[in-house]
Amino acid sequence: MQESFPALESKAPEVYAVLEYCQPYQRNIRRLPLLKKLVNENKHLSLSRLEERGEEYAIEGGSGARQIRKSSFTGPPGALPQNPNAFLRGGGLIFGDTGEPVVPLLTQCRDEVDRIVAELGKVGIP
């Protein structure tokens, strides 16, 4: 940051501290760089493949001893296993390329942005 803003630390140390806090190498911000990577790939290469992940439980066996068999599935959204003897527990949408769950990633990114905004508010930047 010193190369890009050489006088910032001496002229506005509070702002410099907030910007330093936000840098990915500081480990305060961990999820936004992944979101940035996904956004750039979606803009310049191709759209991320979304998949749905979950678990299937099937009841097997006739009139005697029955067993519950568990299996995991991953596939395109809406393409759930079609086993009439099974019930499903969904795991939600994931980014197919990274395996990252979509909703938790976006929630964590929102939380990181909220922390950055709070830090900026401390130095008088609305």
Rounded mean pLDDT, 6-12 = 89
Query: How far apart are alpha carbons 95 and 16 in whole angstroms?
Result: 34
1 or 12: whose pLDDT is higher?
12
| Alpha-carbon separation of residue 102 from 55, 61, 72, 74, 121 (angstroms) | 17, 37, 18, 14, 29
CB 52 within 8 A of CB 74: yes
Quote the pLDDT of residue 67. Answer: 67
19, pLDDT greater than 70: yes
Across the strands, what pairs with 55? 72, 89
35, pLDDT greater than 60: yes
The pTM of the whole model exceeds 0.85 = no
